[in-house]
């Protein structure tokens, strides 16, 4: 079975409690790459989460929840006196979400600057695939990102594949020029890029889909569009993909991209071609947006999502 490392941050999640008066929130946890790890494991992929947490009871609760989902936690560093970050989801009547974050001193931001960092980075060479997002890269300073990119280079030389998700939050970056430079470095290093117009247009405003794709040099690129569709580019050839219409009401678009990424990666790991994988991504995302919060109930996972195949299991 292929082994995946998902690198990033999980935070305490507050979302409007359904069926209650305004101002009451329910508590859970979530974070883009953690959400992807949950869905990967539910789709049959062996995945570890790579992050740092505090030594508090909320961090204990997180790790217990991840273990209950089947996510590996051996790469989680616990930092005395630290806490996880916090975010709140606000959704409008169309299900579109807005996030509010409290995370400047969160434990995960220290991951690239710890005594344990060399061991964590060296371990990446033991995985078949490494997945991280632009939000992951925004957590670390320049020196930390340089350490991570060097480790990714070494892991790829050992046979690992690197998947970069362009999930972009402007507030996480000191300025757009820094973000653009880091994105270009990640594009150049990645084997697979999972992008979206929602992420890239704030960085490259006013350009066409073709121009956005032209900025990404890799041979396997997915560009998710504002409508329920995407473009898969393989070896320079674009293939448009239409998503099936969502049949249920959309209540919360949180984790739509994260679940797309999980289904795409899971499908590629069992040998599905990128077009099949993109269709699987759209299908899972279409279910996720019909539920509140980042993680849907297990019972809501669509059956038969990942195509069974006897082809070689490599992305």
Dihedral, CA atoms, 178, 10, 30, 244, nearest 10 degrees? Answer: 50
Q: Is the dihedral of CA 54, 55, 56, 58 positive or negative?
A: positive
Rounded distance between C-alpha atoms, residue 109 and residue 137, angstroms: 10
Our CA angle for 69, 152, 11, nearest 5°, is 40
Our CA angle for 23, 28, 30, nearest 5°, is 115
User: Two tokens at 110?
Assistant: 């220290």
Q: Give the ranges where the chain is alpha helix by DSSP (H).
A: 32-42, 57-69, 117-123, 134-138, 142-157, 176-189, 197-200, 209-214, 256-269, 274-288
End-to-end CA distance of the chain: 13
Is 258 marked active-site? Answer: yes
Q: Which of 32, 199, 252, 258 is catalytic?
A: 258
Residues catalogued as catalytic: 258
């Amino acid at each position: 079975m292929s082994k995946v490392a998902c690198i990033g941050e999980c935070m305490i999640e507050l979302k409007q409690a359904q069926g209650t008066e305004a101002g009451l929130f329910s508590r859970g946890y979530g974070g883009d790459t953690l959400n992807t790890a949950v869905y990967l494991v539910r789709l049959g992929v062996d995945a570890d989460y790579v992050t740092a947490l505090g030594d508090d009871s909320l961090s204990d609760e997180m790790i217990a929840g991840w273990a209950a989902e089947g996510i590996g936690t051996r790469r989680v560093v616990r930092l005395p006196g630290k806490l996880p970050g916090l975010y709140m989801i606000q959704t409008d009547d169309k299900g579109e979400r807005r996030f509010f974050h409290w995370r400047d001193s969160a434990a995960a931001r220290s991951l690239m600057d710890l005594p344990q960092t060399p061991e964590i980075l060296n371990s990446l060479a033991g995985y078949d695939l490494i997945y991280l997002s632009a939000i992951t890269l925004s957590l670390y300073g320049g020196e930390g990102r340089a350490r991570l990119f060097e480790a990714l280079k070494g892991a790829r030389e050992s046979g690992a594949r690197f998947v970069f998700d362009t999930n972009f939050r402007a507030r996480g970056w000191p300025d757009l020029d820094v973000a653009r430079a880091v994105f270009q470095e990640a594009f150049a290093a990645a084997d697979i890029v999972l992008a979206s117009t929602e992420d890239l247009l704030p960085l490259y405003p006013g350009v066409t889909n073709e121009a956005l794709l032209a900025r990404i040099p890799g041979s396997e690129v997915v560009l998710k569009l504002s409508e329920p569709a995407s473009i898969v580019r393989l070896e320079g050839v674009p293939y448009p993909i239409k998503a099936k219409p969502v049949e249920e009401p959309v209540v919360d678009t949180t984790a739509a991209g994260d679940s797309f990424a999980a289904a795409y990666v899971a499908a590629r790991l069992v040998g599905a071609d990128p077009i099949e994988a993109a269709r699987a991504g759209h299908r899972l995302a279409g279910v996720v947006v019909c539920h509140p919060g980042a993680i849907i109930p297990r019972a809501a996972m669509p059956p038969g999502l990942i195509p069974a195949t006897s082809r070689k299991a490599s992305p």
